[in-house]
Every structure is written in C-alpha cells, then in structure tokens.
Amino acid sequence: MADNFLERQRQSYEERKQQWLKNRKHLTKLRREIPKRPEDEAL
C-alpha cells in the first residue's frame, strides 16, 4: 500500500473533478417562472 496509492487516488479525484467542473459550465440552468399574481378583484 506504500506504492503511492493515496497520491494516485488523489490525482484521479482531481482529474475527475476538473472534468466535472468543465462539463458543468456547459449545462443550461433551469429557470423557474415566477407565477404572476392575479389582479385583486376587490379593488
């Protein structure tokens, strides 16, 4: 286990994280529509 196991795991994690962040920038953000309030009929 002393053959740079942790270093390789960390490097693999960092590479996957960078790829995820790169792909995340290309995703479209979901926008929620704000429902319009009906006009108050009592006025």
Report how far residue 9's alpha carbon sits from residue 22's, in angstroms, rounded to the nearest whole number.
20
Identify the residue whose tokens are 């994280």: 17
pLDDT in tens, 8-41: 999 999 999 999 998 887 767 777 888 888 887 7
11-38 per-residue burial string, b: 16 or more CB within 10 A, e: under 16: eeeeeeeeeeeeeeeeeeeeeeeeeeee
The predicted structure's pLDDT at residue 31:
79
Report DSSP state, residue 26: T
The predicted structure's pLDDT at residue 8:
94
Does the global pTM surpass 0.75? no
